Amino acid sequence: MHVARKLDSIRTLETERGSTAIAYNPGTMTDPLPAVERAMAAFRRRVRGRPLMAYEKCREVLHDMRVVASEVFGGTPEGWAMADGHTATVDRIADSLAEHFGRVATVVSTDSEHVGGIGAFSADKRFVVRQVPPEQLADTAADIYFLSHVTYDTNHDNSDVIRALTRRADDPIVIIDGNQAVGQIDVDVAALGCHVYITSSHKWLGGPHGGGLLYLRSDVVEQWPSPFRAGDPLVPDLPIGRWEPRGGQDFSRVAGIAAAVRAYQVHATSGRPIREQFIQALQRALGDRVHPITASTAEGRVVAFELVGIDVYPVYRELAERGLSIKCIKKPGKRAESGDGCLEVLRVGFPWWTDAEQVDDAVAILTEVVDGVTPASVSASGRRRRWRGRSLGGPPAPATVPEAAPVAAGGDA
Ligand SMILES: Cc1ncc(COP(=O)(O)O)c(C=O)c1O
């Protein structure tokens, strides 16, 4: 990834490796990167008590956010808007589309969508939704196609399906849920050719919660009705300004999003080596008891896997107790690669700030849990191994937990 020219409002970022905790399923329960928190705090400090300057600074950082988003995720700066999180933003896009159509519109989607995406259409009487396997999408007639760039369950990359739709002569409306793709794999919205691309910033970018990015194709910016009503656009002279949340926002989030994208641009490398390191080590340790799902994009930062003959949920709970936070997906009625009748996978993700040692830690703990806590896996002090958070400055995280640690809640973002 190339490092572009310096943008004044985006603070220089030190390396983020070695931050205190890592979530192997970045999401709603995880903290933004320290550099992001610093950028937000610095923005607030700069504008506190100076309302006029606040708006000025806001426009400045918004400009830089558009520039860095277009450099990293394609398109032009004028196509990128600051947004709320994915769920709130897709709701607004659905509202805009309903107004644009002025009649009941048919939405065709895949059978692996997150409710924080497809729900915007399926819960709205102005749409009729049909869900089909991704390979049938292009052959199913629709007014609107809605799908994830990378699916949240098996981490399948739908780029080819998206391009097949957007290259059709009839130019159907294509809305993309980029929540699992942005910060995980390379994204180029112009190459995808979609009308709308949406992402939250708090997942693979380690950005602020409740904020995100919205990309709109230039014809959409001009022609579709903006879902915003109250207040004046912060940037009235650019058409994309009409598409941005207005007053009452925590505008330091813009600085946080810009910093998160910048950090990714400057520091991230391909997810493939770390992914392969994990798969190989896991297979060495567990042999044919583990079955990685091959649909998961090889370029990505996620390994989804089945545990042959083992219920994944108790494993997930035990991992959570030991500080290893991953994702557990059990979906009845959908066949997994090696199972029958149910998709039952664990999903481990390695955001760009993960290092090789943290991958080894994840494998060691996972192996121990799958094996059951055997005498060999209990340390001399009689305590179970726990994920060791590394820290640059603060006190080190405890290396062990007492045998009778309280049961952690099984929440999953
Ligand atoms: C693919 C996908 N879409 C949408 C959402 C909902 O996103 P948010 O909670 O950021 O609004 C998620 C959350 O995990 C997701 O994975």
User: Could you list the pLDDT tens digit for every one of the 413 residues in the chain?
Assistant: 544 444 444 444 444 444 456 789 888 878 899 999 999 999 999 999 998 888 899 999 999 999 999 999 999 999 999 999 999 999 999 999 999 999 999 999 999 999 999 999 999 999 999 999 998 999 999 999 999 999 998 899 999 999 999 999 999 999 999 999 999 999 999 999 999 999 999 999 999 999 999 999 999 999 999 999 998 999 999 999 999 998 778 889 999 999 999 999 999 999 999 999 999 999 999 999 999 998 899 889 999 999 988 889 999 999 988 888 899 998 876 666 666 677 889 999 999 999 999 999 999 999 999 988 434 444 344 445 555 544 333 333 333 322 222 222 233 34
- State the distance from the centre of ligand 1 to the C-alpha of 271, rounded, in angstroms: 20
* 296-333 b/e (C-beta count within 10 Å ≥ 16 → b): bbeebbbbbbbbeeeebeebbebbbbbbbbbbbbeeee
Q: How many domains, in total, are found in the chain?
A: 2
Domain membership of residue 299 (yes or no) is yes
Same domain, 236 and 359: no
SS3 319: helix
Mutate to test the pocket of ligand 1, among 91, 150, 152 (most ligand atoms within 8 A of CB): 152
26 lines ligand 1 (CB under 6 A): no
- What are the DSSP E strand ranges found in 102-225? 105-110, 127-132, 144-148, 173-177, 196-200, 211-216
Counting from 1 in the atom list of ligand 1, the atom nearest the Cα of 88 is 11
183 lines ligand 1 (CB under 6 A): no
Same domain, 54 and 140: yes
Same domain, 238 and 371: no
Q: Give residues with Cβ within 8 angstroms of 410, minimum separation 6.
A: 313, 316, 317, 320, 328
Domain membership of residue 339 (yes or no) is yes
Domain boundary among 226, 245, 267: 267
Q: By residue range, what is the domain housing residue 79? A: 34-267
Same domain, 98 and 217: yes
Domain boundary among 214, 248, 267: 267
Strand partners, 211: 84
Mutate to test the pocket of ligand 1, among 93, 179, 196, 214 (most ligand atoms within 8 A of CB): 179
Counting from 1 in the atom list of ligand 1, the atom nearest the Cα of 148 is 1
Q: What angle do CA 409, 399, 363 make, to 5 degrees?
A: 75
* CATH code assigned at 213: 3.40.640.10
pTM of the full predicted structure?
A: 0.87
Element of type H or E holding 265 = helix 252-267
114 lines ligand 1 (CB under 6 A): yes
Same domain, 397 and 293: yes
Q: Checking DSSP bridges between strand 173-177 and strand 196-200, what pairing results, if any? A: parallel
- Count Cβ atoms within 10 A of the Cβ of residue 16 and give its class: 0-12 exposed, 13-18 middle, 19 or more buried: buried
* CATH code assigned at 304: 3.90.1150.10
Mutate to test the pocket of ligand 1, among 87, 148, 156 (most ligand atoms within 8 A of CB): 87
d(CA 219, CA 196): 11
Domain membership of residue 407 (yes or no) is no
